[in-house]
Amino acid sequence: MSSLSIKPANEFTISQLAELMTRSFEGYFVPVNITGIILLAMLRRDGIDLASSRVIMKDDQPCGLALIARRGWASRLAAMGIVSTARNGGAGTWAMRQLIEEAGSRGEKEMLLEVIEQNTAAVKLYEKFGFSKIRRLVGYRLDTSQIDPAAVHQDQELQEIDIRELARVVSYHGLEDLPWQLSGTTIAHHTPPSRAFCLKDAYCLISNPETTDVAISSVLVKARSGEAGLSGALMRALFARFPNKVWHVSPVFPEEMSIIFEQVGMTRETLSQWQMSLKF
């Protein structure tokens, strides 16, 4: 019978962890190809703690990876994968039990995660341990190459701001239980070539707008702002400022925010996620 054990992730090199993460997500819903540089960016931005993260070993060989991000009383299961040859044999269940016990013994009060709604095995695994759904998270897409740049209005009020200023606004005005990746703390760790903009009381963070595909990583309108449609005005101003792009909103946005993307003609992506939480 095979034996399972775990090792702290900090006992491995960054390139070993990147390679293991890529193998652990083989056949996933979206292609996952993690390099050392991508992994380092995740660790820095998302607050992943390698000393609390675990490599899952089967017969003394790495067979999976669990990345744990930590902030205050909460941790987030930032990635969890078992290599394809070891799946559906109880390794995920065994590892989750260890991870939850360890979070409890660190004195935490909550474990958070996001899981693709269509990922039956993973949703089943988390529900089995008592994780409950906070809300559905959705993504959007829009190709603006068909839009005539002459037809769109260049808004003179669009201003570029320091990403740290956006992070402060999100921490102050955003929902308290925003998904980890949208929180002010995560946003403060974004750096150029990402850029932040505001138009009056509406704020937005985008990835490098010099490439064809641009991600919208944060959108916020200050709660006290009475002006309707301000987020739409901001996004239309960005579409005009950076024409001929494919704009992406990854499925980390609360479904309650759908209107923000639908009002500017974006199309909902088929993959959605559950934001889940386990309270201790």
43 vs 39, 47, 213, CA distance in Å? 6, 6, 23
Binder among 120, 146, 154, 156 for ligand COA (CB under 6 A) = 120
CA distance 265 to 144: 10
Q: According to the binding rule CB under 6 A, does residue 62 interact with ligand COA?
A: no
Q: Minimal distance in Å, beta carbon 60 to ligand COA?
A: 18
Backbone angles phi, psi at 79, to 5 degrees: -160, 140
When the beta carbons of 47 and 81 are compared against ligand COA, the nearer one is: 81
Query: Of 75-83, 98-106, 151-159, 218-226, which segment contacts ligand COA by CB under 6 A?
Result: 75-83
Binder among 40, 59, 85, 90 for ligand COA (CB under 6 A) = 90
Name residue 230's beta-bridge partners: none
Helices 91-105 and 120-128: crossing angle, nearest 10°? 40
DSSP state of 41: H
Binder among 39, 68, 112, 115 for ligand COA (CB under 6 A) = 115
Q: According to the binding rule CB under 6 A, does residue 25 interact with ligand COA?
A: yes
Query: Of 36-44, 81-89, 171-179, 253-261, which segment contacts ligand COA by CB under 6 A?
Result: 81-89
When the beta carbons of 24 and 218 are compared against ligand COA, the nearer one is: 24
Q: According to the binding rule CB under 6 A, does residue 128 interact with ligand COA?
A: yes
Backbone angles phi, psi at 238, to 5 degrees: -70, -40
CA distance 1 to 168: 53
When the beta carbons of 231 and 275 are compared against ligand COA, the nearer one is: 275
Q: According to the binding rule CB under 6 A, does residue 97 interact with ligand COA?
A: no
CB–CB of 221/232 below 8 Å? no
Q: According to the binding rule CB under 6 A, does residue 136 interact with ligand COA?
A: no
Q: Minimal distance in Å, beta carbon 174 to ligand COA?
A: 23
- Mapped to the 3 state alphabet, what secondary structure does 109-166 carry? CEEEEEEECCCHHHHHHHHHCCCEEEEEEEEEEEECCCCCHHHCCCCCCCEEECHHHH
Q: Which residues contact 259 (CB under 8 A, 6 or more apart)?
A: none
Q: According to the binding rule CB under 6 A, does residue 2 interact with ligand COA?
A: no
Q: Minimal distance in Å, beta carbon 124 to ligand COA?
A: 4
Q: According to the binding rule CB under 6 A, does residue 82 interact with ligand COA?
A: yes
104 vs 50, 75, 86, 100, CA distance in Å? 17, 10, 27, 6
229 burial type by CB count under 10 A (0-12 exposed, 13-18 middle, 19+ buried): middle
Please report how many Cα atoms fall inside a 13 Å half-sphere around the Cα of residue 160, on the Cβ side: 7
Query: Of 123-131, 148-156, 168-176, 211-219, which segment contacts ligand COA by CB under 6 A?
Result: 123-131
Q: Minimal distance in Å, beta carbon 275 to ligand COA?
A: 12
Q: According to the binding rule CB under 6 A, does residue 121 interact with ligand COA?
A: yes
Q: Minimal distance in Å, beta carbon 99 to ligand COA?
A: 11
Q: Minimal distance in Å, beta carbon 21 to ligand COA?
A: 10
Note the residues at the interface with ligand COA (CB under 6 A). Answer: 24-25, 28, 80-82, 87-93, 115, 119-122, 124-125, 128
